[in-house]
Structure 1
Amino acid sequence: MDDAHASREGIEQALYSLLPTGLAGVDAARGRARLRTLTTLRWLAVGGQTAAVLFVNFVLGFDVPLGPCLTVIAASAWLNVFLSFAMRDQVLLKGWEAALQLCFDTLQLALLLGLTGGLSNPFLLFLLAPVTVAASSLRPRYSAIIAGMAIALAALMPAFALDLPWYAGSSLYLPALFEWGHFAAFFLAIVFFAVSSVRLSEDEARLVRAMDAASVVMAREQKLSALGAMAAMTAHELGTPLATIHLVAKELAGDLKPDDPHHDDVRLIAEQADRCRDILRQLSRSREAEDIVHANMPLSSLVEEAAAPFKGLGVSLNVTWSAGEDGEPRIPTIRRSPEVLHALGAFVENAVSFADSHVKAAASWTDKQFMVTISDDGPGFAPDVMPKLGEPYVSQRGEAHLHGGDMGLGFFIAKTLIERTGGRIATRNRTPPRKGAIVQAVWPRSALESLESERMQINGPTVET
C-alpha cells in the first residue's frame, strides 16, 4: 500500500477518532441541557397554570380547590428561585440533573391535574411537555424514565384524582370509558412524540457530525492546496539568491589554487547550491506545487490522479476515457478541484475494497456535461442499503452491513463534495448476470470547465504561428 493510500486511511481514522461514533457518541453529544432553558420553560408553565386556574375559578365560576392548586404551582416557582441562587444561569446541566428537574415538572403537572379532574381534565395532554423536552435534549434512557413516569402517574390518577371542577352546587360525572379512552390517547401520544423526538434528534446529531467531518476533509484539502502554492512561491523566490550563491562560489573556486585549504569547501558550497537549484526546479515543474484552485488539467488526467493511489492493491484498476454522443474528440480541460479529487478517490477506494478482481474508472463527456463512472465486480450494494445510500453512518455494502464495518461516512463526504461542486451522484448495481456496483458522478460542463476551455468556445481555438 503506497503513502497516498495510507495517508487517506489515516485521515479517515482520525475523523472517526475525533468525532463521536455510533449511538453512544450521539447520546454524548445531546445529553446536556442548559439550566436557563429549563427555568424559562418552567416560568412559562407557572404563568400559564396560574392564569388557567384563576380564570376557571373566577371567570367561569367553577369550584376549583384554589389553595392546593396554587401551592403546587408555587412549588415550581420556588424551585426556579432556588436554582437561580444555587447555580449559574448559563450552566450546562448534566444528563441526570436535567432529568431530575423534568421528573419534578412531570410530578408537579400530575398533581395539578389530579386536583382538577385527573383523566377527565382536557389539559391532560400537557404532560407531554416534559417528555418531549427530555426526548429532544437528553439521552434515550432518561427520556424513557420520564415517559414511563408520566404514563404511570396518568394511570394512577383514577385512584387519587378529585372530581372535575364544575359549577358550584352541581357535579359533572364522565363515564369511566371516556376517561380510559383519554388515557389511551395520552399513552399513544407520549410514545409517538417521544420516539419521534429521539429519532429526529439522533438524525440531526449524526448529520451535524457528518458535515463536520466533511468540513475537516475540505480544510485538509485546502491546506494542502495552500502548501502547494507556497512551495511554488518559495521555489521562485529562492531561485535568485541561490543563483547568486552558486555564481560567487564558482568564482571563488576559480580564484583559489587547488592546494588552497579552502578550495574544497568552496567547491562543496557550489555543488550544494546546484543541488538546491535542482530541487527547486523540480518543485516549480511539479503539478502538485501549482495553485490547485486555479490549475487546469484534462478530465482524463484528473481521473487518473484520483485513481493512482489505489493501483497495485491486488485488484486490476483501469482508467479509460471517451467522448459521448455530441462530444468533441478532444479531451476537455477542466479546473483541478480538490473536492472532486477527494470524492473520486473515495469512490475508487470503496470500489477497490469490495471488488473481487477488477475496477474500472471511465470518464466521458458530451457537449453539455461531464461524467465519471466507477464500477467493480464485487457483491454490489445490498438491497436494504440502496434507498438510504449517501446518508451518514449507513453501511454501503452487504458485507459491511452484516459485520458492522464501514459506516458510510466516507461515501457521505464524497457525495457532499460532488454536490458542492455542482454535480450529482447516481448509484446502482450492475445488470445480472454481471455482478458489482456502479457509482456515477455527473456535472454540467459549466461547473468544472476551465477558463481556457470557455474562452476557446467563445473565441474559437488559437492557431499557433
Structure 2
Amino acid sequence: MDPISQLRREMSAPGVRTAIGAAEGVSNPDTTNRKNLLLLIHLRWLAVAGQVLTILVTEYWFDIQLPLALMGGVVVFLVGLNVFSLFVLRGRAPVTNTQLFVALIFDMAALTIQLYLSGGASNPFVSLYLLQITLGAALLTPWSTWILVLAASACFVFLTFRFQPIAMPHHGGSDLFALHIRGMFICFVLAAGLIVIFMTRINRNLRERDAYLADLRQRSAEEDHIVRMGLLASGAAHELGTPLATISVILSDWRRARVFGRNRELAEDAAEMQAQIDRCKHIVSGILMSSGQARGEGTIHTTMRDFLGDLVEEWRSSRQPLSLDYRNDFTPNEQIVSDTALKQVIFNVLDNAQEASPDWVGVTAERQDEKLVFTVRDRGPGFDKDILAALGQPYMSSKGRPGGGLGLFLVVNVLRKLGGDISARNMTHGACVTLSLPLAALTNGDDHDA
C-alpha cells in the first residue's frame, strides 16, 4: 500500500474524523443542550411549585380572590410541558437551539397568562421576565435571545393595557402598597436565587463542553502525529527490506568462501551478523504487520497467560537483562486474540525500564475485575516531576536525545485506542509504570485489528 492510500485510510477512521471535526469547530452540541434542557425542566418544576404556593397564599392567607380554575389550567399545562420535555430527553433525536428557544417561549407564555389573570403589569412578579431573558442569554444563540427580549417586552406592554383586575380586600392605600412591596421583595429573592443556582450549573455545563472540545483537539493533533509517524515507519520498513535482503545474500555467499571455513573466529562473526540481519528482518516485518500491510500469518488465538509469558520471554531473550523478576498472577485464564500493537507497547515500557535500571526489572501481571493490569518496576532514578505531569506527551524525556519521549507517547495513544490507560509514579527506589487494559479489547480481534 502506497503512503497516500495509507494516509487516506488512517485519516478516514471514525475516531480521527470525530476529533478533527471537533478541532475545526464542527462539534456536536447535543450533550450540552440536553443538560441545559434538563435544567429548564428543573426550573419549570420549581415554577409549578412556586405558582401553586403563591396562588394558595394569595387566595387563603391574604383573602384575595383569584380565577383558580384558569390559573390551575396554566399549572397543568406546565406539568404537561415538562412531561413532554422528559420524553424528548429520553429520545435519541438531538436537542437543538430552536427547541430550547421554543421551551422558553412556552414558559414566557405561561407566565404572561398568569400575570394577565392576576393584575397584569401591576403584579410584582412581572419582573420574572428578566429571569427568562437571563436564561435565554446563557442558553441560546444571540438572535434567539433578542427575539426573546422583544417577546418579553411585547408581553409587558400588553399587560400594561390588557389584564383582569383582581378583587382586592378593603384595606387602606398604605396597606396595599406594603403588600405590593412584600410581593416585589419575594420576587426579587426568588429571581436572584434561581439565577445564581441555574447560571452556576449552566456555566459548569459550558466549561465541561469546552474541556471536552479541548481534549478532542488535543487527540486530533496526537492522532495526526501518530499517522505521520506510522507512515514514516512503514515507508522506512519498505525501503529497508531491499538492502537487508541484499546484505543477507552477500553474507551467505561470503560464508561459503574457504577463508570462513578455515577461520573459526571469522565464521562466528559472520554467523552473528546473519543473526542480527534476521532480527532486523523480523523487526521490519513487525512494523509492516502493525501498520496492516502484512497479514500472511493470520490472526493468532491464544490465552492471556501464554501471550504474556511468550512476550516476556521474547523480550528477555532479545534484550538479555541482567535480572528480570517476572510474576504472572493472571487468573482465571482468558482466551484472547494476540495483538501486535499491545506487544510493542509492552516492549517499549520494558525497554525504558531496562535503560533506567540495567541491573533489575520487575514485571507483574494480574487480573482486576475485567481488566489486565501489567506493572513494570525498576530501580533507576525515577521520573522527573515535569515528565510525570505531562506523561505521554511527545518529546517529553530526560534522555536528552532526538526523538526522546516518543515511546511513551505511542504507548499512551495505543492504550487509549484499546480503551485502557497508563499511570506512572516514583517509588522509594526507582519507578513504577502500570498499564490497565479492558479484557474486552483483546477478546475480539475485529475491534482493533485494523
Q: Indicate the TM-score class for this superposition, using the shorter chain for normalisation.
A: 0.3 to 0.5
- Calculate the TM-score normalised by the size of structure 2: 0.41
- Calculate the TM-score normalised by the size of structure 1: 0.40
